[in-house]
Amino acid sequence: MASVSISLTQNRITTETGYRVINEVTAAADIEEKLFLYKFVDGNGPAWGEGDDTYQHVATVLDVRNYPAAPSPGDDFYRHKKVVLDYGLLSGAIDQAAITKTRLSELAVDWQIEVDAFEGTTGYAYQSEDGEVSFSLEQEQSQEAADNYRVKSTILDSPAPVGIDRSLFLYELIGVAPYEAVDKFIRVATTDDLSQWHAKGAWQLGETHYRSTFVQVDNALLDNAEVHAAQVRTDLEALAVDYDVASDDFVGSETTTYTG
């Protein structure tokens, strides 16, 4: 389990015009070091210390969830590990120094709660309305690093799936043979995917896709990891219903007479 800690180095100095507070996160465990939120306002791309980018506040839980430490074009906000603030009045500098320490202390506690809620292994059972299609999912969620949140979803072999194949995750082949660690996860398989693509064990040379019993996805942001985990569950729930409907539509007997 994660154990969140944040180390802050705070230098308070006088300048020719007033008072300066230099805050820098110098170490962190199970949370990124970049915990000061900036708004990107210049025209040259996010770069701390350049242009007119403006410091907003100590990052909140939502900021850490949603705003990157390594921003991409189009990001309005990003996080950095250091902020330098100048004040004309001593009282303002003293207040800011105290607020930064308090908010980082609160963030360490709040982020521990977030990570504890994310980590763990949970089982889910899915079935169609008439029970003719059913299968079980195990979803394991863990924090592998300060910026790596992992979700591993596995269709269980016990209890065995009923009325449907166990390989329910679609991959695009990248290498020369199926290998989940290298190949690209596309989605939870649809009814058409189950008809069109073989399971990994039955994959045939020349096929560009295959289905697997598990998928493991890493995300740099906790929020993205939770969105992925929820989407897998939602799609599997829909698949149980859709596949049963498709199977019922196919199964049956009919006699057709053709005349010339």
pLDDT tens, 165-208?
Answer: 999 999 999 989 999 999 999 999 999 999 999 999 999 999 99
Q: 19-29 and 209-212: which strand pairing?
A: unpaired
pLDDT at 50: 47
| Cβ atoms 193, 238 nearer than 8 A | no
Could you tell me which residues are beta bridge partners of residue 38? Answer: 55, 78
**What's the burial of 58, exposed, middle or buried (CB within 10 Å: 0-12/13-18/19+)?**
buried
Q: Of 5, 2, 78, 72, which is closest to residue 36 (Cα–Cα)? A: 78
CA 209 to chain centre: 24
Segments making up each domain of the chain, as ranges: 5-118, 120-250
pLDDT at 173: 96
pTM: 0.82
Please give the structure tokens belonging to residue 125: 């059972």
The low-confidence residues of the chain, meaning pLDDT below 50, are: 46, 48-50
